[in-house]
A and B are shown apart, each in its own frame.
Chain A
Amino acid sequence: MLDILIARISQGHQTMTYPDGPSPPLPPRFRGLPVLDADKCADGCTLCADVCPTQAITPATAENAAAMPGPLMDLGRCLFCTQCTSICPADAIHFTQNHRLAARRAQHLHISPHQSLPPLEELSGRLKKLLGRSLKIRVVSAGGCNACEADVNVLGTIGWDLQRFGIDFVASPRHADALLLTGALSRNMHMAVRKTWDAMPDPKIAIAVGACAISGGPYAGHPEVLNGAESVLPVDLFIPGCPPHPLTILDGLLRVLGKRIADGQKC
């Protein structure tokens, strides 16, 4: 018993002060929201698009230049890997430290040199009233690599302490307000995901976490998968990444519920 108390004292209080205080430090090499600089793009260069393993980049070509000045990037497909940044001779793409990536619509995730992510709209009306202060989440993993699951799970540890926001993971779909899906939605999980969703009482929302759940990720187009959650459910919140950092996931959840983040600012 004494050992436990000594350990508790020496390990100290570990729950972060975020979102009242500053957000936890991200490593200097962290790859967050990408920024595209079309001015640096050489005419007709498609190197980044050619090398991208998930076809997340649409290059500007002579034909579409009027409609699309510079490359278009789909954060729902992006693995936040280093293929495009290492191949680009002009440093036209770089990943910033910005961890805020969540969006309410899949098309909001299409960014260009002139259009970054729009502000995230919080839930409104009855949904906000019912779920804003208590959100019970049923997590279902369906055809991914378990990295998203791991970083969703981390939010339950003492460092992040998700429960202080009234958000919790529940075992039964009957107790759940939200279905959080990870993975590309394998055909082998189709029935189980459908049944879980159907077993949840209304009102309910669906959250897609990670490139797989948004677009199929690296597995998009495989006959074994259904290319993400939207093929089966209406999705209310998209959190990109491969996997998204826990801070990115938490930020998405807090903003959709309309919680206050940092210096009293609502985002």
Chain B
Amino acid sequence: MQRVAIVGIGWYGFRPQTKEVSFREMMFEAAVRAYQDAGGINPREEVDTFISCQEDFWEGISIADEFAPDPIGGAMRPTMTVDGDGLQCLTHAIMHINSGLSDVTVVEAHGKPSDILTLPDIVDFAMDPLYVRKVSPNYHFIAGLDATLFMKEFSATQEDLATVVVKNKENGLKNPRASYASKLSVSDVLEKPYVVYPLTELDIAPYVDGAINIVLASEEVARRYTDTPIWIEGASFATDSANLETATLGKALYLKIAADNAYKMAKIESPSKEIKGAFIDDRYSYKELQHLEALSLTKDPVKALREGQLYPDGDIPTNPLGGHLAEGVPLEASGLALLIDAIEYLRQGKESAIVASWRGVPTFTGAVTVLKR
């Protein structure tokens, strides 16, 4: 692929509730900020295509796609929606630009879970209706099944999972988007009762309201909008078998497939040496470790954690701004939340980063983006 630049980012919310705005106003707020960040770009004239990542059941509106264009400046302009995580949207934007269809494309995703009064029932509704849906009174049980096998295969302990929680919640203390950042001890986490074995309430990232807007540009035009573009060198997404019975548990195959593709595009042969920061889905504590292995950043994520390699000053800084455990999970904006963490990290002078998202239970879908300064 030809590399594509990120020339503007904007966000709004990242609070447990955002009652002061509707979801469309939240999209507008994030968009205005992103266009300002992209040198004051006028979306009505200078943006060629718009892409929004959203899902009807999260919005509470069927055919919510109709509401995608106008809050981001895309009314009466080419706008498409992707029913998936924001990083999948980003990959579509790269295709728009690489195909020559567009020079500037905007990607948007948002989540307003505080509006969804029966959110766990909606997650249940995403499960296979015949074999899976009615089995458990708690949808996190799928993560429980996966975590138990992960812990066995990688000899991880409850303390290891708690250490990830403590690390990420503390990393979030310097991040303005991290509503759930806290200073905790490992014993604070271990003392919490299980929700589903082996996960306590603190091992599970809470939901958060948030909207994110990203402006992307081709290499030819990027410097019109910013002096400090961040370059996308590789991007991909993949789904493992979609059936719980046949999907891989214990390991994140979806992310391994996506990462291998993205590394190939970015011509990265030795990820652990070439990637300087990992911004990866940690909506369950064990997922951070499982995803690190899938991304080939380490063969033994548990050892890396115990040796301190995953801290901000370690060899593989992982979620140095706190990840979902500190920021929360803004539904389809989750991948983009990790992306803007990575962009801020690179804007501070770091050389490269990887962003890896997962679409959450009950999916086996993930996306990867490789970024360089």
A, B assembled together: no
